[in-house]
Each structure stands twice: as structure tokens, then as C-alpha cells.
Amino acid sequence: MDIKSLVSRMTLEEKISLLSGADFWTTTPVQRLGIPALKVSDGPNGARGANFRGGMTSACFPASVSLAATFDRDLAARIGKALAEETLTKGANVLLGPTVCLHRDPRGGRNFESFSEDPYLAGELATQYILGLQREGIGATIKHYACNEQETRRFTIDARVSERALREIYLKPFEIAVKNAHPWVVMTSFNLVNGEHSDSNKQLLDILRSWGFDGLVMSDWGGVNSVAPSLNAGLDLEMPGPPNKYSPSMVLAALENGEVSENTLNARVEALLRLLERTGKFASPEIPEERAVDSPEHRTLIRQAGAEGIVLLKNKNGALPIQKDRVKSVALLGFSKEYLGHGGGSAQVNSHRRITPYEAFEAAVGDSIELRYAQGAKAMRNLPVLSSNLMDDEGNPGATLHVWRMSDIDEGGTKANVAEAFFVSNEKSDATAATMTATFIPTITGNHYLGFSTVGNTTIFINDEPVFRYEGNYPDVMAFLFGVATEEKKQYYFIAGQEYRIRIEAKSAQDTTSGLETYALNIVGFMLTFMTEREHDGDLLSEAVETAQSSDVAVVFVGNTPSWETEGVDRESMDLPRDGSLDRLIAATAAVNPNTIVVNSTGTPITMPWLESVSAVLQTWFPGQEAGHAIVDVLLGKVNPGGKLPVTFPKSIADALSYGNFPGNLDELKVEYAEDVFIGYRHFDRRPEGVQFPFGFGLSYTTFELHNATAVPDLMSDNHGSIDVAVDVTNTGSLAGSEVVQVYVGPATSSVLVNRPIKELAGFAKIWLEPHETRRVPILVTMDSAAYWSEALSAWAVDAGAYRIYVGTSSVDIKCTLDFEVAGGFSFLP
């Protein structure tokens, strides 16, 4: 297709219309010229489709951190291919993934959605994920460019980072994926980088194109902060539509004032047209209806990938796998009946299947083992929304919602099923208010619990008496939007069978801190929650302890639900929720049962005060819709665990070098990346006493030996910039299994730049071996692994001197070292 010719036939108004979406998920068509619309869908671990909550079901794949734990490039490509097939079922041609921002701090709310603390590992797996998608004709959207390592004030925070750290750490996974996989779309982040919003950061977008990127640059949803600066920097598409900054009047004004040239406008339009061509939209312009297709092949792949990402952290005296022929009873405690397949936010999908560990155990053991369940602890973030025993104004189940706007007066009522509402207005002068009314008839007498959260200016009455009141603007609308706002809680005495008239009155509030004004200036939101006194205060721990004490094995399932680990909110600590209740459950169980196994489902490291007292620990991440099956496959030995940690597990949050600079100075809206290039294991190599479990670590049910390592040649130069490393790997155990060979490189003499990390990941390979089998594993080490970013040269530099190659099975468990020499220093451009 001659794209330039097509652009030449467009009117100015038609060109401008293509700069922004038509609605929340589609681009704008130009019917006169046969330019179709294109639909996109969230990702990155499942194609959700148009609905945020509920709606049509979708396949839920393991979170990216779980995929990273496999250290398996081929598996990442297979996941990408399956996600392409899922995207088509939702009528979309672009998936909004993968996310490659790094795990700078263990408290990052969206870490689970990203791969790793290491840029090389993240870039390598993202490359294969993207290739898998795009071979099927579905565009990948690598995001969020750049430095979106926290959720706190993500719309307005300014990430202050050195040029060296930017190049070596935070841009590196993007660079690797852009050069090797050529993603068709890049999504900019909300935050500022060194004083400039990412969408208008010309330095960042020039760097992106210097790598050879020729795709489309789109904004995150609501993430455009200017007109001319963003257009000139290279932001092609504002999402969602209708436009906020790229409106016809504002773009026309910029053109007329000479702030933007028509050549620049044409370049932005051409980028969208190339994307339409690459995704085949000109040949197939229709947007199909969404479908829910529960593919057996995808079930199998998700189960396999989930199991392969599980990391065995501890296995004292061979506590795992559980031997079905030796165990008569197993206590399944904690979250065993919870589905923890994904985190919260835009990565969340309405899963086709939601397999819990309890269900999977039942299917796997049948009557051969007695399963005994006890919950043991409550770890909910907020109380459940009040939804039962409500009658609306007409006597039907539910509540009645009235909304008033100056431009849209609602004379009637709207049916609501729960005591919860959230809506917005983009008009500055549009005074918005709402009331919700219902009759509540409790079924149990007691001093029950009510909870209340709001975006502001809301009062809740029971029988005309105020019970909750919040005046002014709530400081974190993002937290409310994702259902995790701080909840005010109190007890209220109810009598069973008596009618209680509930009235909620809310006036519009303004979001003064989150930066959501791109979506809305007037916001109304409130939530009323409820739990009976008996449910809230009941003793769950005693029953769990009794169950554990009478069982041969006790498996305690803990982790973070989507409300505890979610987009929009960072975690306050590394501790398990809530208020130590899950930690107490583990400790109490271990005190009465020496065969206590902990299964932790989080996307980030946790503190483990009970580690010494338990027999085994599995880190399962968020393994997708087949979560229960994947976990039980490992617990029972159907799958030999081969996952490796893609992040370091510190002993405490204070051991992380980012601790004092996360989430930053919120008064000044700045976060200093003061640790520079020393994130993750790069820091802990210098402070090993702070490590609970190192990067790359993971046990197996078998054992391996690495030997006979070689590196050829032993000299690197600008003319010969690679070294072939090889090592023999032998499975010395009695079970088939996998091992990940990891190669690190670091300077060995002081003549090399002194403030470099001791070593950095330079290559890896996953290998499957039968018992007593030996295979030789080759890994190529390139000059990139010996280079650092020279701010003086604005180039990559390799200093002269001696370098060391570390070959091992984690960043700490190094089996052998090899040396090579750089005789003369040299530099090279990206």
C-alpha cells in the first residue's frame, strides 16, 4: 500500500481525526477513504475485551513474573502465540502488552505484570512474547515507556534518574525487544522522566527511534499532557477517544500558530496507517463480535507454564513432593479455596476457569487421601460490598440510584444491585450529585460491621441518622477506582427482621492528587460494605490448628488477592496481609505439625518470619486460570519444579537499596532513583547479608552438576565482540528435570570503571535432562555484557582490563569462573 499517497488524499480534518481514538478501545476510521477502525484489548496476561468487570470470559495466562521465572524463551513465544489467538476472539488486532518496566522495589503494585528486576532477562522474554504475538498478525504493545516503576502518583510523579541508569537498566529491556522483535506499538507511561512527561519527552522518543523503531507510539489511557510538544516529540495516537489534548480545535490551533508542521502531522498519521496495514485491517476492516473461546490447548499450555514458573524455595528432608502412597491425610489451610490466578487492574480478566488448589487436590487424589479444610485467617483488604437483603424503592432486590447533573437531570431512578457507585463528568461547570436509597433487612441480630469509602463529599444515613461522613476530596482516587481505598469501619447494632432505611448522599469531588483530570473533573464515588459480627470476629485460627495437628501433612496457602496486589496502588510493605494474620496461621501450624508446607501466591517477594520452622516453601506467583492444577502438579510431583527467581527476595524491605526513595517525595512529586544502576542483585552482591533468596535461585526434586566450562576466545575487542561460553550439565539425581544455566559477566580489575556492579546477567539457557544424562550447553556472551553507558561519550564503553565470566545456577551459586581480557578499550553507539 502507498501510505504517503493515501495521506496526500486526506483533508486536514481527516488527518487530525486519526490522532486519537474514536472511543475507549478503537481508533477512528475515515470511511471516505476506506480507512478502517482498529480495536485494541488489555493484556498482558489475557485478552480481556471491552468490559473491565465481569462480562465475557477470557483465558487467563500466568502473569509475566511467573513467565519470567521459567527462564524459558520458547515458552514465552508459545504464550505470545496463544495470546494472539485469544486477542482475535475479542475482535481486537493489538494486545496491550507486554509490560517490561523493572521491579525497582518489592512494593511496586504492578510488579507482577512485569518480568524481572534484571533488564536482560526482561528483554529476552519480552522479545519472544512479542515474536509469538506478531507472527500471528497481532500487534504487541510494549509498555510503559519509561520508568513506570511505581503506582503511587503515577500520573504526576517525576522519576529522576541518571542517564547511565536510564540506558543500562530502565531502557535496556525496551532496547532489547525493539531491536530483536520489532514491536508494532510502544505505549508511553503517565509519569515524568527527569522533568518531562513521557508522552512529550523528545529525548526518550528519539532514543526509541534510534534503535530502529518504526511502529506507532500511543499514550497510556488519559496519558497525553500537551498538544504541540507531544506531537513534535513523536506521540502518534492519543487514547482513549474522544480526544482530550489532540482535539481538532487544539491541533488546528497548533498548526495555525506554527507550533506543529503539517509534515509532523503527516508522520503521525502515517504511523497509524502502517499499523492498520500490518494488522491486516485494510483487507479485513470489520471488527468481529467478542467471543468466549475456552480452548483445551490453551488450558494445557497455561497449566504447563504455571507449573514451570513455580519456584521451590525450601525442601527440608524431602518434604516435597507429597507421596500419595505414604500420606493418609492432608490439611489444606488458608487460601486453598481461593483462586489466586492474577493480580488486580488492567491485567485482570474474567477467567474462563478459576481452579483453586482445593479443587485440584480433590481431582488429583480422589479418595486416596483425606482432605481436611480450615480457613485459619481472614486477609481481606476491605469488607464485602453490601449487596444482600436490600430492597430498592419499588420493593425489588437491590438499591435505587438517582443522579443529577446540570446538563442531564435524572427524574427517575436507576437500579443498582449493590451499595456502590462511581461515575465521572468531564465538564468543569457540571455540578454532579447522587443519592442511593435502599431498605436493609438483616437476618442476624448483632453489633455488625459497616465499612465506608468514598472519593469525597459523601454522607451515609441509617434511618435518617448520619453514620459516616467525609467532606472534601479523598487524597487517592486511584485507590478508590481499584477498590482498595482506605475504609472507615465501625460497628452498628442491627436487629434481625427489622427494616433499616439507608440513604447515601454524595456531591461531586475533584481529584487533586492522582492526576485523573484527563478523565474527569467532577467525580462521585462511594462504597458501603458489611459483615456480620460473627463472620468478622470469629476464631478461625483454633480450628486450623486442630486440623493441622490431626493431619499427616499441613499445606498452608497464603498470598495476595487482587485487592492487595494491584495496578493503581503500591504495597505498604513486603508483609503478607492482613495485620500478620497469615503469618500467625503459618507459625501456629508449624508449631503443631512438623510437615508444614507453605504455598505463597504473590507477584513480589514477602517477608518470611516463619521460614526456619516450616519444611517446604513454594513460590507460585500468579499462575493463571489453571492455578490450582499447576500448584498441585508440583506438590504431588507430577511436575518437577524448575522455576528460578526473576527477583531477589530480601530479608526485609529495609534491605532493598530503594527503601528510602520509594515512592519518593510526594510533596514535591519527585522520586530519586538514587540507587542508580544498583537495583536487585546488583545491590545485593555488595550486601549479601540482606538476601533471603537470591536472584536466579530455585531448587528441584533432582540434582544437577555443572562442569568443564570453557570460554573461547579469551580476548574481546571491537573487532571481535563475542565469546562462546559452554558448560556440561549432568542430572545427578533419579528424576527427570530442568536446570537453568546462568552466565554473568563483571570486571575483574580496578582498571575498569570502579562503580560497576560486581556482575550482571549476560546469558542463560534452560535445559531438560533425564536421570544421569549429560548435555553441553552453549551460551554466547557479547560485548554488550562488558559495556557500560558513558555519559561523557554518549555511547557504550568497554574499558581495557580483565573481566570475569561467572557460570552458575543463581547469582550466588556460582559453579565456575573464567577470565577474558579487553586489551584496548573501545566504545560503540546503540
The closest alpha carbon to 101, from 353, 347, 439, 412, belongs to 347
Domain-embedded: residue 690: no
As a whole number, mean pLDDT of residues 733-741 equals: 98
Domain-embedded: residue 617: yes
Low-confidence winner among 52-61, 367-376, 443-452 (lowest mean pLDDT): 52-61
> What is the chain's Cα-based Rg?
28
Give the pLDDT score at 239: 97
Residues 365 and 413 in one domain: no
CA distance 784 to 562: 38
Determine which one of 220, 511, 583, 633 is catalytic. Answer: 220
CA distance 639 to 71: 16
Residues 32 and 149 in one domain: yes
- What's the grid cell of residue 78? 508459545
Residues 732 and 586 in one domain: no
Residues 432 and 578 in one domain: no
Domain-embedded: residue 674: no
Residues 471 and 516 in one domain: yes
Give the pLDDT score at 754: 55
With 70 as the cut, is the pLDDT of residue 519 above it? no
* Host H or E run for residue 545: helix 541-549
pLDDT tens figures, 224-280? 999 999 999 999 999 999 999 999 999 999 999 999 999 999 999 999 999 999 999
Residue type, 201: N
Residues 86 and 200 in one domain: yes
Give the pLDDT score at 409: 44
CATH number at residue 268: 3.20.20.300
As a whole number, mean pLDDT of residues 180-185 equals: 98
DSSP-derived secondary structure for 784-811: GGG-EEETTTTEEEE-SEEEEEEEESSS
Pick 282 or 578 by higher pLDDT.
Answer: 282
Residue 685 annotated as catalytic: no
pLDDT band at 429; cut points 50, 70, 90: very low
CA distance 151 to 680: 19
Cβ proximity of 460 and 533 under 8 Å: no
Residues 547 and 520 in one domain: no
pLDDT band at 406; cut points 50, 70, 90: very low
CATH number at residue 494: 2.60.120.260
Pick the last residue of a domain from 605, 623, 645. Answer: 645
Give the 3-state secondary structure of 560-628: CCCCCCECCECCCCCCCCCCCHHHHHHHHHHHHCCCEEEEEECCCCCCCCCHHHCCEEEECCCCCCCHH
Low-confidence winner among 77-91, 322-336, 344-358, 406-420 (lowest mean pLDDT): 406-420
Domain-embedded: residue 669: no
pLDDT tens figures, 684-706? 999 999 999 999 999 999 999 99
Low-confidence winner among 508-517, 631-640, 710-719, 818-827 (lowest mean pLDDT): 508-517
With 60 as the cut, is the pLDDT of residue 113 above it? yes
Cβ proximity of 71 and 103 under 8 Å: no
Domain-embedded: residue 661: no
Determine phi and psi for 41, rounding to 5 degrees.
-145, 140
With 50 as the cut, is the pLDDT of residue 794 above it? yes
Cβ proximity of 604 and 622 under 8 Å: no
Cβ proximity of 777 and 727 under 8 Å: yes
Pick the last residue of a domain from 481, 508, 533. Answer: 533
Proportion of the chain above pLDDT 70, given as a percent: 96
Residue with cell 477498590: 483
- The answer for 446, left when phi > 0, alpha when psi is -120 to 50, beta otherwise, is left
With 60 as the cut, is the pLDDT of residue 408 above it? no
Pick the last residue of a domain from 483, 502, 533. Answer: 533
Domain range spanning residue 463? 390-533
Domain-embedded: residue 288: no
As a whole number, mean pLDDT of residues 642-646 equals: 98
With 60 as the cut, is the pLDDT of residue 428 above it? no
Low-confidence winner among 201-205, 336-340, 415-419, 671-675 (lowest mean pLDDT): 415-419
Task: For the chain, give the longest Cα–Cα distance.
Answer: 87
Pick 696 or 434 by higher pLDDT.
Answer: 696
Cβ proximity of 556 and 376 under 8 Å: yes
Domain-embedded: residue 650: no
The closest alpha carbon to 217, from 189, 196, 243, 247, belongs to 189
Domain-embedded: residue 655: no
Give the pLDDT score at 296: 98
The closest alpha carbon to 791, from 162, 160, 120, belongs to 162
The closest alpha carbon to 74, from 305, 300, 342, 310, belongs to 305
With 60 as the cut, is the pLDDT of residue 426 above it? no
- Please state the domain count of the chain: 4
Give the pLDDT score at 412: 54
CATH number at residue 580: 3.40.50.1700
Give the pLDDT score at 403: 82
CA distance 697 to 681: 11
pLDDT tens figures, 24-39? 999 999 999 999 999 9
CA distance 425 to 782: 54
CATH number at residue 769: 2.60.40.10
With 80 as the cut, is the pLDDT of residue 470 above it? yes
Residues 98 and 165 in one domain: yes
**396: burial class by Cβ within 10 Å (0-12, 13-18, 19+)?**
exposed
Residues 33 and 179 in one domain: yes
pLDDT band at 402; cut points 50, 70, 90: confident
Residues 600 and 716 in one domain: no
- CA 303-306-309 angle, to 5 degrees, is 145
Q: Which are the contacts of 12, defined by CB distance < 8 A and separation ≥ 6?
A: 252, 255, 262
Residues 775 and 749 in one domain: yes
Residues 630 and 740 in one domain: no
